Amino acid sequence: MSNSLLAQEVASRRTFAIISHPDAGKTTITEKLLLFGRLIQKAGSVKGKGNDKHATSDWMAMEQQRGISVTSSVMQFPYRDAIVNLLDTPGHEDFSEDTYRVLTAVDSALMVVDAAKGVEERTIKLMDVCRLRDTPIFTFVNKLDRDTRDPIELLDEIETVLNIECAPVYWPLGNGKGFKGVYNLYTDTLHVYQQGQGNRIPDDVKIQGLRSDEARALLGAYADDFADEIELVRGASHEFDLDAYLAGRMTPVFFGTALGNFGVREMLDDFVRWAPAPRPRATENRLVEPVEAQFSAFVFKIQANMDPNHRDRIAFLRICSGSYSKGMKLQHCRLGKDVRISDAVTFMAGEREQALHAVSGDIIGFHNHGTIQIGDTFTEGETLQFTGIPHFAPELFRRIRLKDPLKTKQLQKGLKQLSEEGSVQVFMPQRNNDLIVGAVGVLQFEVVAYRLKDEYKVDCIYEPVNIYSARWVSCDDPKKFEEFKKKAYENLAEDGGGYLTYLPPTRVNLSLMEERWPDVKFRATREH
Ligand code: G4P
């Protein structure tokens, strides 16, 4: 592929994920985006709950029962001149570690905020993760068809709680029963809300000029108040600055109703204009440019048994440079091995398709037969290791015990693979033969028990264990480290990747140890 063609293709890519608190409308807005991307003909057909296209795997019968989405897939669609890659994230907070890692694979994010609730707890957490890489953020304030809080107050809250400047691009014309549409502060255009068009691409009804007769007719007695409000908003809010947005300091704000499919198109139009194309990525060795001719990619997620007809695992890779073509030979950098990839897949609205061609910014899936781990890098020959794909310290711990002690080997194998996939983390204490599993959410334990039984034929039970958290430990001074290891022996363990971890029984114990051993680094995340 020629350099200029590659550059052109890469420039068209918009790879992003949606961050929000549960119920803010992520699933609904995803569906409308797929509608505009012509991946579906009619909304209502890919609902994440109930009638469920996500629940294609049988171990996920569990998710269906619970009405949560455990899966995380990738949807690619063309919109205007762009090719949009939307990476879905698990809705349930128990799988937030997966969400964090999906955020390492995107170039930007869309934050959805419920207009009646404002900034909620999970959004705050996810924004913190975005901030690690200064990810540019679009904001969509949703559910304007309901009674909302004062939009000025909402923007104030976003600015103070999330520490990001807000630049409203549109402003809502009323809310709830009186919701009339949105007004573009830059083009002086009113976009008129039409009810009952939620399931299709709505008509695009516009009025030019806030002071026009048509606008007056639409707004009625409210017209003067609205004009005053706009004056106020213009004076008091930040003007949109593309560089500040790209640096993650400012977010353009849009308003609408995902359910009513209104305001989403307006947001998407500006999204494909402003959101960044793939950007350079850091490796341990050097910065990799997306338009470099040689292929490179890293694994950010491994998913098992998405489709009961293919009982296998898929490793999701984010391409960081070059292009993929069928049958190409790649180097698996961690193993230093060459592999020929003839059957990579892409995910068009959840359907598997053979990937024939993909470029920087795109996501492809490799079949994984147990040799691929999260964080692995694949290249066309150069030995590289992408950075910034962390494991996060688990917050919950259990001792795992076999019902049949003869199956220790299977259990170890199962746990090893599940931890490499990032489904759970495993710790082996130094002082005994226990196996400790660590998770961010309780449901992860259930999924792991289910999969151990289903895939590895081992029945196990969990027991409570007195561990508060996990910290990966290291020290530049080998002598001090040896001393520390002796003293901390009781609470030290090796994790699934062979890294030394300190498992403090209490928060107080952790603070004391950090104080006593200032030369030892206690890290809450670890990289590959
Ligand atoms: P999530 O993925 O972020 O968890 O949210 P989801 O889209 O599932 O939306 C949560 C609920 O909010 C759904 O209602 C959905 O219909 C509703 N919703 C989403 N956008 C809007 C909007 O713009 N206006 C209004 N009024 N409601 C909206 P539900 O009753 O929980 O589910 P369902 O029975 O409608 O499927």
Using one digit for the tens of pLDDT, what is the confidence trace for 215-224? 999 999 889 9
Quote the Cα angle for 404-410-411, to 5°: 70
Do 285 and 267 meet the contact criterion of CB atoms below 8 Å apart? no
CA–centroid distance, 259 to ligand 1, in Å, is 7
CA–centroid distance, 252 to ligand 1, in Å, is 23
Measured in whole angstroms, how far is the alpha carbon of residue 49 from the centre of its chain? 19
Task: Tell how strand 82-87 and strand 13-20 pair up.
Answer: parallel
CB of residue 91 inside a 6 A radius of ligand 1: yes
CA–centroid distance, 86 to ligand 1, in Å, is 19
Question: In CATH, what number does 16-63+108-275 get?
Answer: 3.40.50.300
| Alpha-carbon gap, residue 59 to 308, rounded angstroms | 9
Question: Which residue CA neighbors atom 24 of ligand 1 most closely?
Answer: 143
* Residue of 309, 305, 409, 322 lying closest to 364 (CA atoms): 322
The predicted-structure confidence for 309-368, as pLDDT tens digits, reads as follows: 555 678 899 999 999 988 899 999 999 999 988 778 865 544 555 556 899 999 998 988
- Three-class secondary structure assignment of 406-445: HHHHHHHHHHHHHHHCCCCEEEEECCCCCCEEEECCHHHH
Q: pTM of the prediction?
A: 0.87
Q: Which amino acid type is present at position 64?
A: Q
CB of residue 180 inside a 6 A radius of ligand 1: no
Pocket test for ligand 1, best of 28, 54, 145, 254 (most atoms within 8 A of CB): 28
528 pLDDT band, cuts 50/70/90, is low
37 pLDDT band, cuts 50/70/90, is confident
pLDDT for residue 367: 85
The predicted-structure confidence for 265-304, as pLDDT tens digits, reads as follows: 999 999 999 999 999 999 998 999 999 999 999 999 887 7
Question: Which residue CA neighbors atom 25 of ligand 1 most closely?
Answer: 143
CATH architecture of 393-527: 2-Layer Sandwich (3.30)
For the cut 60, the answer to whether the pLDDT of residue 213 exceeds it is: yes
DSSP, collapsed to helix, strand or coil, labels residue 213 as: helix
Spell out the residues 6+ positions from residue 5 whose beta carbon is closer than 8 angstroms to its own: none
**The domain 282-379 is classified under which CATH number: 3.40.50.300, 2.30.110.10, 1.20.1070.10, 3.20.20.140?**
3.40.50.300
The helix (H) or strand (E) run that includes residue 104 is helix 96-104
* Residue of 312, 418, 442, 425 lying closest to 365 (CA atoms): 312
* Residue of 358, 309, 322, 341 lying closest to 83 (CA atoms): 358
Q: According to CATH, where is 3.30.70.3280 located in the chain?
A: 393-527
CA–centroid distance, 206 to ligand 1, in Å, is 26
DSSP code per residue over 253-269 = EEE-BTTTTBSHHHHHH
* Residue of 227, 89, 99 lying closest to 171 (CA atoms): 227
| Alpha-carbon gap, residue 467 to 397, rounded angstroms | 6
CB of residue 25 inside a 6 A radius of ligand 1: yes
Question: Which residue CA neighbors atom 21 of ligand 1 most closely?
Answer: 259
Neighbours of 341 (CB within 10 A): 19
148 is in an annotated binding site: no
The predicted-structure confidence for 223-246, as pLDDT tens digits, reads as follows: 999 999 999 999 989 999 999 999
CA–centroid distance, 89 to ligand 1, in Å, is 16
Q: According to CATH, where is 3.40.50.300 located in the chain?
A: 16-63+108-275, 282-379
